[in-house]
Amino acid sequence: MVNFSMLWIMSSFFMVFCGLWSFICYHKHLLNSLLSLEFMMLGVFWLMSIQMSMVGSEVYFTLFFLTLAACEGALGLSLLVFMVRSHGNDCFMSFNLLEC
């Protein structure tokens, strides 16, 4: 019989690898890249919270990590809004690096 803690750890690793696979395969749009990065961050947060609960230490580090992940998501969304307003869409192929 499989231990539930091992099942949760394997599911969090599966989340991280699925996010990495989607980041590598579906990088045509900026929104897809941002969503896959956030999915990886949630998998890492879940793994970290499981490990911290097993050890019995403080959970403040996981809350700090969740705060940084939320700030990273807000920064990514602001970049997405800026690129859509300046270029008209979020396709990476439509960006010209020679423009200011």
- DSSP class per residue in 26-78: --SBHHHHHHHHHHHHHHHHHHHHHHHHHHT--SHHHHHHHHHHHHHHHHHHH
Give tens-digit pLDDT for 18-72. 999 999 998 788 888 899 999 999 999 988 888 888 777 677 888 888 899 999 9
Is residue 27 one of the residues assigned to a domain? yes
Is residue 19 one of the residues assigned to a domain? yes
Is residue 100 one of the residues assigned to a domain? no
Is residue 99 one of the residues assigned to a domain? no
Confidence of residue 17 (pLDDT cuts 50, 70, 90): very high
Is residue 44 one of the residues assigned to a domain? yes
Structural domain including 33 reads 4-94
Report the CATH number that the domain containing residue 26 is assigned in CATH.
1.10.287.3510
The count of structural domains within the chain is 1
